[in-house]
Homo-oligomer: A and B are copies of this chain.
C-alpha cells in the first residue's frame, strides 16, 4: 500500500513544508493508522528524503496535535477517543459561534452570495436522494470553513482551519459517520446564513452554537447506543 500521496499540485518551496502537508493528509485520511509508530529512517526512505526535513515536519505535526512524540522513543499518530471528539465539539461550539457573529458583522456581500449558492446546491443534492452525502462528504465542513474565513479574525481562522478541522476530518474518516441529520443540518445552515445576511450577529452566533450543539448531541447519542461507531483498533 502507498499510504502517502504524491506531492499535491501546489508545490511547497521547501521539502519539510511539503512533507508536512503530505503526512497530515495521510494521517487525517487514515493512510497512516491512528496509534501507528512513524519510524524516521523508514519514512524518510519511503519519501525519498533525508531525516532532517522529515524531523521538521514531524515537529509541526506534533504542534498541531496529530502525532505524539516522546524523547528517544519516537513519534506515534494520535489515537482517537470519543472523549476527545466531544472536547472538539465543545470548542467548536464556542469558537464557531464567535466566527458566525463576526461573519455577520464583517463578511462581504459577495461572500454571502457565494454561501447562498453553496446552500442551494446542497439543497438540490438532498432532493436528488443522494442526501446522505451532504454531511458525510465535505459539504458540511465547506459551509463552516467559509464562515470562519468570513470572520476575518486571523487567529480564529488559524485555530479552526489549521488545527481543529483536520482533526474533525480525521474523526469523520475513522468513524464511518453516515449522518441521518442531513436535512436538519441544512435547515440549520440556512438559518445561520439568514442571520448573517441580515447582519444579525447575535442571532447568527446563537444559531451556530445551537447547530453545533445538535451535532454533538447526535454524536453523543450514537456513541452511547451504536457500537459500530467505535473506533477500529487496527493491529
Dominant SS at the A interface?
A: helix
Chain A, 80-100, CB within 8 A of any chain B CB: 84, 87-88, 90-91, 93-95, 97-98
A14: B residues at CB distance < 8 A: 71-72
Most buried by B among A52, A65, A87, A159: A87
Judge whether B52 and A91 touch: CB under 8 Å: no
Chain A interface residue count, CB cutoff 8 Å, equals 33
A17 within 8 Å of B (CB atoms): yes
Q: Please name 10 further chain A to chain B contacts, defined as beta carbons within 8 Å, in addition to the given A16-B59, A55-B56, A93-B98, sorted by A numbering.
A: A56-B59, A65-B158, A84-B154, A87-B153, A87-B156, A91-B95, A94-B94, A94-B95, A94-B98, A95-B95
The copy count of this chain in the complex is: 2
B contact residues around A102 at 8 Å (CB) = 90
Task: Report A32-75 CB contacts with B as 1/0, cut-off 8 Å.
Answer: 00000000000000000000100110011011110000011000
* Chain B minimum-CB-distance residue to A167: B155
- Within 1-33 of A, Cβ neighbours of B (below 8 Å) are at 12-14, 16-17
**Residues of chain B with a CB closer than 8 A to A158's CB:** 65
